[in-house]
Amino acid sequence: MTRPDRVRALHQRGLNALNRGRPLLGVRAFRAGLRIAPDDVRLLTSLAAAEAALGNTEQGFALLDRADELATAETKGLLVQQRGLLLILVGRMDDALQCLDQAIGLLRRNPTVLARTLLNRAMLHQISGRVGAALADLERCERLGQELGQDRLVAKAIHGRGSCHLLAGNIPAALRHFDRARVVYESHADGMLPVVAVERARALLAAGLYSDAATELDFALARFPRTRMDQEHAEAQLTRAQVALAANDLPAATTWASRAETRFRRRGNETWAAVAAATKMRAEFESGTRLGLVAPRAAALATRLAELGLDNDAEAAELVAARAYLARGRFNEARQHIRPRSGPRSLLETRLTRRLALAELGAALGDSGKVFTHARAGLTLLRDHHSRAGSLDLRTSTTSLGRELARTGLATALANGAPPVVFGWLERSRAQAFRFPQVRPPHDDDTVEAVAELRQLAHQVRTAELAGAPDTEARRRCAQLERAIRARGWQAEGTGVHSAEATFSEVRAALGTSTMVSYAYTDDRLWALVITSEQARLIPLGSLATVSESLAKLHSDLEASCGRKLPVALDRVIRASIRRRLTALTEDLVKPIRPVLGDSEVVIIPTGALSAVPWGLLPDMAGRPVTVSPSASTWLSGRNAELATPSRWLLVAGPDLAHADEEIHQLAKVYGEGAVLLGQEATVESTLRALDGCTTAHFAAHGHHERENVLFSRLDLSDGPLMAYDIHQLRSAPTHVVLSSCDVGQTVVRTGDEVLGFTAALLYSGTRTVVSSVATVDDDAAVEVMAAYHRGLLRGLRPARALADATLRQPLMPFVCFGSS
């Protein structure tokens, strides 16, 4: 090989290493080339880039200065674009833009370097909030990459477009682009995998999925020390701080922000260091300490960020100053810092923060009208943002700002005390995901294969558990598949539309002789808004923490007593404990509202832990028809839906459940006809086919409420689990579903009373009524109860009345009628 050939080979080896995200390998190759050709401008320029990526920016500039002395007309464009990149890395954005603009004019005959320059200028536009300009550069870069056949370059352009979608607030599109880029990186540039993981974390942070964001960042932070990508490592630390801040882990937020700031300053990047300092400042504000110092320091930092060209970050810092002044009672200073800056359109987080600050100012001044105006406007922004997501996981996640806006509005409404006002804020701030049209999850080949593998492995895990030999490897693979399927679902886009909230007058008109009890809480204080067709009252209750503790102990007692032959003395002790817990819950939740309840049917709208109350076991509710719904709007929507006449029945018995076949045989006699799936016939495929669009479905099958991954709560069938995820694939939801075993009526309740679980999945899909248990069920007793329940339905009783009658003579049956009845 000739001397020039060796130099070219080493240069290409170094470039390949850089493109794969391996700058240290690039440095070694470039230095080896320079030992052969010390004055090669291309080697000097590329070495400058590699050193800068490792954090050695001063050395990078020195190498460029040396190359400048040797540059020719042919290499001038390469040199200018490289200087522009280094200027970005040290935070000199205006100087960097001038260099990149100049370089693009010089590189028309060098399409490869031109494409890389467009990529870098797009990154600069993104940092400064110029999304449209960034997308134009990225689209041009992608076209060049395709023409040159450079997959890595195309992947980086797609990656950049994902970042633009994230800035614009389109999280599904952002995640879709990041995943497309990741597929290429896995094959051609594994050093870029932690970089795209940080981008995914930013998207999940914006969606309110903080735990998932932290998982992505933990992966990235473990990989960056190996790649030696110092700037990206610092950005990952900063994002980790922002996730901790959003999750209210203030010590962790301060620690990670300090680490990031130190790393940025060591690189000489004062711009990014200022962003890290702003994050640390936000953590200090949220801690509520030294607010007198936080306010002026945040204002000064806002000025510094604006000088650096970071308008969005400057606005965010200014709002920290405003809220700190507000907390100190200095309203005039607060007003001055709430005013929006001129410049590019603010990010969603900034707009939400401004609305929250204005609402808080209104509350401090006693102006409830301003509180309602700004909190409502903020929640409307958030609702419109969520409407762009098709995934239930994203729709039910809520950012910390959304939680604060809802809390501020609701607290002011409760202080106001007017029932129509309180009702409006309850409906505005809870179970919003039910207001969006359902979007079926992805059904591409990869997802179908992953779901099939998950079902097979879950069956294997269950079989191993029953045999007393847990299969830990299969369980690990199941968790991996669940994460992958969830992540695919995040990419589904929503329709952007939503249904209207129910109005106070509409609900009162629809109640007839029933009573609605809508529970609410603020600062641990519980309230009950009790509504009838003739009156409405707001009634103060006790502590939510006290109720939650009683409820947890009740569930523990019910679990201990269910389906076991206990010694007489122990059984007596547990049953006495159950009675005490039920009496305590009645005292806290029902006694204060007795005068309004009378003996009417009741519609319960729970909040938080109250979703797990077995209402029919409370002494005041025994024998009384009770329906539990996520919101008044959800209840009214189901109430107004056309009530189907019995036409298509489905009865399913799962495996390994005593009396399941007996229960289904009894019900088959009650109905006389319909689809009956027993034994090996009760497969997932045959069940879903029969379930789609049926009128009434009854499952006697083991259920599992997966608290850590609720989309995969499931019922056991002969060939594997029927998962909550599967329910969202139905074209037409069953009208009425009964789940007679286990505790699949339980839910995970996210912020904003957004519920997830198997029962919730059916309600989201459009099922009008679900009868299921919120605690473990005695299977022997359930057979008789279920037969009585279905006989009641055939006599024309509504589900809530049929359930109340069927359970009246059978103690400790924790079934609940969910939805509308």
Place of tokens 């809508």: 518
Phi-psi region of 674 (alpha: psi -120 to 50; beta: other; left: phi over 0): left
Interval 227-243 mean pLDDT: 93
Length of the chain: 821
Judged against a pLDDT cut of 70, whether residue 766 lies above it is answered with: yes
Longest dimension (CA), the chain: 99
* Residue 70 CB contacts under 8 Å (≥ 6 apart), including other chains: 39, 41, 44
The tens digit of pLDDT for each residue in 544-556 reads 999 999 999 999 9
Place of tokens 């603010």: 346
In angstroms, the Cα distances linking 778 to 450, 465, 627, 665, 743 are 35, 21, 22, 18, 11
Portion of the chain with pLDDT greater than 70, in percent: 98
Rounded Cα distance, 49 and 44, in Å: 9
Rounded Cα distance, 14 and 818, in Å: 63
What is the pLDDT, as a whole number, of residue 304?
94
Phi-psi region of 656 (alpha: psi -120 to 50; beta: other; left: phi over 0): left
Q: For residue 446, with 0-12 CB atoms within 10 Å meaning exposed, 13-18 middle and 19 or more buried, which class applies? A: exposed
What is the pLDDT, as a whole number, of residue 411?
96
The tens digit of pLDDT for each residue in 623-680 reads 999 999 999 999 999 888 765 555 789 999 999 888 889 899 989 988 877 899 999 9
Rounded Cα distance, 87 and 95, in Å: 7
Inter-residue contact 607 to 519 (CB < 8 Å): yes
- The sheet carrying 703-704 orders its strands as 703-704, 714-717, 720-723
DSSP letter at 499 equals P
Radius of gyration of the chain (CA): 31
Rounded Cα distance, 130 and 121, in Å: 11
Interval 126-136 mean pLDDT: 87
pLDDT level of residue 708 (50, 70, 90 thresholds): low
DSSP letter at 592 equals G
Rounded Cα distance, 798 and 802, in Å: 6
Rounded Cα distance, 39 and 770, in Å: 77
The tens digit of pLDDT for each residue in 249-265 reads 999 999 999 999 999 99
Judged against a pLDDT cut of 90, whether residue 568 lies above it is answered with: no
What is the pLDDT, as a whole number, of residue 389?
84
Q: Which amino acid is at 542?
A: G
User: What's the whole-number average pLDDT of the chain?
Assistant: 89
DSSP letter at 526 equals E
Inter-residue contact 526 to 546 (CB < 8 Å): no
- Residue 718 three-state SS: coil
Inter-residue contact 751 to 799 (CB < 8 Å): no
Q: Which two tokens stand for residue 309?
A: 């060209």
In 641-757, alpha helices (H): 660-671, 684-691, 724-727
* Burial state string for 803-812 with b = 16 or more CB within 10 A and e = fewer than 16: bbbbbeeeeb
φ, ψ of residue 135 to 5 degrees: the values are -65, -40
Portion of the chain with pLDDT greater than 90, in percent: 53
What is the pLDDT, as a whole number, of residue 342?
54
DSSP letter at 720 equals E
What is the pLDDT, as a whole number, of residue 746?
79
Residue of 210, 131, 142 whose CA lies nearest to 170: 131
Interval 443-472 mean pLDDT: 84
Inter-residue contact 270 to 308 (CB < 8 Å): yes
Which run of H or of E encompasses 758? helix 758-765
Q: Which residue has the higher pLDDT, 524 or 707?
A: 524
Interval 109-132 mean pLDDT: 88
What is the pLDDT, as a whole number, of residue 26?
87
pLDDT level of residue 813 (50, 70, 90 thresholds): very high
Judged against a pLDDT cut of 80, whether residue 440 lies above it is answered with: no
Phi-psi region of 483 (alpha: psi -120 to 50; beta: other; left: phi over 0): alpha
Q: For residue 211, with 0-12 CB atoms within 10 Å meaning exposed, 13-18 middle and 19 or more buried, which class applies? A: exposed
What is the pLDDT, as a whole number, of residue 543?
95
Interval 463-471 mean pLDDT: 81
The tens digit of pLDDT for each residue in 159-217 reads 999 999 998 889 999 999 999 999 999 988 888 999 999 999 999 999 899 999 999 99
Judged against a pLDDT cut of 90, whether residue 468 lies above it is answered with: no
Rounded Cα distance, 58 and 50, in Å: 12
What is the pLDDT, as a whole number, of residue 642?
64
Interval 82-111 mean pLDDT: 86
* Burial state string for 326-356 with b = 16 or more CB within 10 A and e = fewer than 16: bbeebeebbeebbeeeeeeebbbbbbbbbbb
Rounded Cα distance, 126 and 386, in Å: 23
Q: Rounded to 10 degrees, what is the CA torsion of 386, 389, 393, 399?
A: -30
pLDDT level of residue 343 (50, 70, 90 thresholds): low
Q: For residue 513, with 0-12 CB atoms within 10 Å meaning exposed, 13-18 middle and 19 or more buried, which class applies? A: exposed
φ, ψ of residue 679 to 5 degrees: the values are 55, -135
In 432-564, alpha helices (H): 445-466, 472-489, 504-511, 544-561
CB count, 10 Å around CB of 300? 12
Rounded Cα distance, 650 and 565, in Å: 33
Interval 706-722 mean pLDDT: 84
E strands within 724-783? 736-739, 748-750, 754-756, 769-773
pTM of the model: 0.85
Interval 685-693 mean pLDDT: 94
Judged against a pLDDT cut of 90, whether residue 569 lies above it is answered with: no
Rounded Cα distance, 81 and 78, in Å: 5
Rounded Cα distance, 651 and 646, in Å: 14
CB count, 10 Å around CB of 368? 16
Inter-residue contact 253 to 241 (CB < 8 Å): yes
Q: Which two tokens stand for residue 519?
A: 């529970």
